[in-house]
Amino acid sequence: METLRTIEEVREWRATGELGFVATMGALHEGHASLVRASAGANARTLVSVFVNPTQFGPNEDLAKYPRTLEADLELCKTAGADAVFTPDNAMMYPEPYRTWVEVEGLTDRLCGASRPGHFRGVTTVVTKFFNIVQPSRAYFGQKDAQQALILKRMTADLNLPVEIVICPIVREPDGLAMSSRNRYLSEDERKRAVGLSKALTEVRKLFESGTRNAGILRGQLITTLDDYVDKLDYAEVVSAEDLQPVNEIEGPTLVAVAAFVGGTRLIDNVILVDRDS
């Protein structure tokens, strides 16, 4: 496996042929490994980027303390089947004076976008830049960031970017906790309570499967369960999986999405409800 440090090195390395791309911020875990494996299984070569993108963090967020574990990340990439890892620095990605941004309207101002203003502008900008540098045939993202996945699909379609977006399932710990780089911030007690997000979503899914279609009832159940586990709820929403608009009665594919603080750590999780009959 090669380590590429500059944009020029990536351009040289990128020959013709199917190239899979996995964008990450490092602190890699089994969830990322599943993306790399999916890419390696479907493309001649796979490139992973490791870049803690400063423009997607708000002023009071965890940019400075975001975990950086490059040695272990390189090992995970190699084991999962990556052919190269690209590790640019801030000056390379945002040369001064930097003035160009990519923004997707509408989908970005709710859920995570409401509590993290500017976050998705940072994500869409850096992903567009990576697409232009790497020029992948396919790019792999996790369903755990459901809103990010939807926004990146919209952006790729709207801008006619010649890349196929592949969304891979959430990978969970044995007790149900969705894998996240931020899980490593959790103390022992917080780790036990963090399972509340997936527990609450599982209860909602069961309620849905037993016939409940009223979004208010499902949301009420979600919040009641979360209250027993988390320290602060950011949001708990039942929205259309297509446009993120709130729904009253569930008719089409529906996203149930949660963001909550356990101690000082903000965690997210979600489930998509689909009517078997629809």
The H-or-E segment that residue 240 falls in is strand 232-240
The least distance separating ligand PAF from the CB of residue 148, rounded to whole angstroms, comes to 6
Residue closer to ligand PAF by CB (options 43, 56) is 56
Distance CA 163, CA 6 (A): 22
- What are the E-state strand segments in 9-63? 19-24, 45-50
* Residue 88 phi, psi (nearest 5): -75, 165
53 binds ligand PAF (CB under 6 A): yes
Nearer to ligand PAF, 93 or 200 (CB): 93
Which member of 14, 32, 37, 266 is catalytic?
Answer: 32
Q: Please state, in angstroms and rounded to a whole number, the distance separating the CA atoms of residues 268 and 112.
A: 9
Contact 180, 144 (CB under 8 A): yes
Residues 125-154 within binding reach of ligand PAF (CB under 6 A): 126-127, 145, 148
If we measure between CA atoms, which residue out of 54, 126, 50 comes closest to residue 90? 54
Residue 5: CB partners within 8 Å, gap ≥ 6? Answer: 86, 87, 88
User: Of the listed pieces 20-28, 99-107, 223-231, 253-261, which binds ligand PAF according to CB under 6 A?
Assistant: 20-28
Only one of the segments 8-16, 21-29, 90-98, 196-204 lies at the binding site for ligand PAF (rule: CB under 6 A); that segment is 21-29
Of the pair 127, 218, the CB lying nearest ligand PAF is at 127
Rule CB under 6 A: which of 237-256 touch ligand PAF?
Answer: none
Alpha-carbon span 8 to 15, nearest angstrom: 13
| 183: contact with ligand PAF by CB under 6 A | no
Q: Please identify, among the stretches 60-68, 121-129, 199-207, 222-230, the one whose residues bind ligand PAF according to the rule CB under 6 A.
A: 121-129
Q: Which of 104, 92, 206, 86 is nearest to 155 (CA)?
A: 104
Active-site annotation holds for 119: no
Q: Does the footprint of ligand PAF cover residue 190 (CB under 6 A)?
A: no
> Contact positions toward ligand PAF, by CB under 6 A?
23-25, 53, 56, 123, 126-127, 145, 148
| Residues known to be catalytic | 32
